[in-house]
Structure 1
Amino acid sequence: MSLREKVRPERRAAAVPTAPNDRRRLHGSIAHDLAVAIVGGRYRPGDVLPNEDLFSQQLSVSRTAYREAVRILAAKGLVESRPKTGTRICDRTRWNIIDPDVLAWHLEAAPSDGLIDALFELRRIVEPAAAGMAAERRTDDDLAAMLTALTLMERDGLSSERALQADLEFHHAILVATGNEPLTALSSGIGTTIRWTTTFKQRTGTLPRDPLAEHRQVFEAIQARDAAGARATMTALIDQALAATRDAFTKSRA
């Protein structure tokens, strides 16, 4: 497979980018395409990326843009650059898998059943516990944020972008309500998982019945300071989402 086949940038470099934003978009695009090629298996751990001169020539990008793209991937654990040995793909154990970008690249590159199960396993570990903590620690402001999200979900319908954003805000509000900053930091990775799996289900026409009732049950348990109930209802909500996602994958492959 040629380098051009492995990495297919959708946007090619202008000869001289005219503004900082242009340059950021360019090396971001290169990093995206390289990352999807890596997580999709077109490059494998231990492989050495083409040197910057060859890469720049074959893909019509500047060496500076390539270097910036490599820095992005290195910061997320996908590659490492060493003098004389070049840029090598790191072992998967070193990838920052819950980084929102890394997670989005995986999901774009047709994730395996194992990855989907692992992501839901992470949700099942984190979110029920967070819901229980939120029930014990939530404030009136936390409840107001959750209720606002639920109202938007109900108003806009399951398949709209605004409803999806409201769904993400609901789950984020629960993590915020724990008062645990390291736990809240997981919100972006969890949100990326929710967004992608919901979008995938929409594309395959396998959206389940409206899960608003289950979301309301979680909210009501948190509102009532029922920690055990909050954990149980959140677990049921996640299990429902996993079952629907598996159905979507089965349908897409059929």
Structure 2
Amino acid sequence: MTNDRNTASAHAQTARDIGIAIVTGRYPPGSILPGEYDLAEQRGISRGVVREALRMLSGKGLIVSKPKTGTRICDRARWNLLDPDVLAWMFEGEPPAGFVDNLFQLRMIVEPAAAELAAQLRTGEQLSQMGHALEEMARHGLASATGQAADQRFHHIILEATANELLVSLAGSIGAAVRWTTMFKHRKSRQPRDSIPQHRQLFGAIAGGDAAGAREATVALLQQAREDTQSSIG
């Protein structure tokens, strides 16, 4: 079991390292990656680990491997930009302002409508979970890993509360967007604005069954997050 876990960790770390190099432009679209043997030798790992890492990257649309031509970086249009790992890798560097803008446009389309539904359909258990996540955010602060994880759970539960399986399927992507934009702005800015009051307003609207209020609170929350994240770029 230990060897299996170590192997999984090694190929995940290798995929992460190469993935970051791809999405940050060190390996631009159309370029060819070093071969499996060279990558394994550079990193002191087995070719099997490299092969698994490349398979993982291929599944995310970042690379394509063909006999005789090697492993080529795919055009950006083929990347699965909503994959939680790819989103994380984008924010390891300095994400382009256009990408951040597109990400918040997506959130602005999805999350206000989801909050509106959640206000109508949420269960008592979901409200309890949201309330606990909000308490954790306030207690630990959004600059901390614990507070950021609670923030991610808070937004995840809102999507779950819609009872729409297609919206719920976006939870991983939306959660990753919440986590990495929050981490990014706290990493880049000394004093980002406190978003706990906006989260409290959103929770209050959902708890009170106020669908229109939940939509408005989400829009206000996202507008502040967007402004703070954009001000952290460049």
Matched, 1:116 2:100: yes
Segments of 5+ residues of structure 1 without an aligned counterpart are 1-17
Is the radius of gyration larger for structure 1 or structure 2? 1
Sequence identity, in percent? 50
The secondary structure found in structure 2 opposite 1:178 is coil
Superposed counterparts of 1:168-247, under 5 Å: 168-247=152-231
Taking the aligned partners of 2:109 and 2:9, their CA distance within structure 1 comes to 36
Corresponding residue for residue 21 of structure 1:
5
Segments of 5+ residues of structure 2 without an aligned counterpart are none
Paired residues of 2:111 and 2:218 also in contact (CA < 8 A): yes
Matched, 1:54 2:31: no
Amino acid at match of 1:211: S
RMSD: 1.8
Amino acid at match of 1:188: G
The secondary structure found in structure 2 opposite 1:130 is helix
User: Which of the pair has the greater relative contact order for Cα pairs under 8 Å at 6+ separation?
Assistant: 2
Taking the aligned partners of 2:140 and 2:195, their CA distance within structure 1 comes to 13
Shift of 1:129: 0.8
Shift of 1:169: 1.3
Taking the aligned partners of 1:232 and 1:145, their CA distance within structure 2 comes to 22
Paired residues of 2:119 and 2:206 also in contact (CA < 8 A): yes
The secondary structure found in structure 2 opposite 1:48 is coil
Corresponding residue for residue 3 of structure 1:
none
TM-score normalised over the length of structure 2: 0.92
Matched, 1:64 2:59: no
Amino acid at match of 2:46: S
The secondary structure found in structure 1 opposite 2:27 is coil
Paired residues of 2:119 and 2:208 also in contact (CA < 8 A): yes
Shift of 1:202: 2.1
Corresponding residue for residue 91 of structure 1:
75
Corresponding residue for residue 14 of structure 1:
none
Corresponding residue for residue 85 of structure 2:
101
Amino acid at match of 2:225: A
Corresponding residue for residue 43 of structure 1:
27
String of CA shifts for 1:116-172, please: whole Å, max 9, x gaps: 111111111111010011112111112111111122222333433322222111111
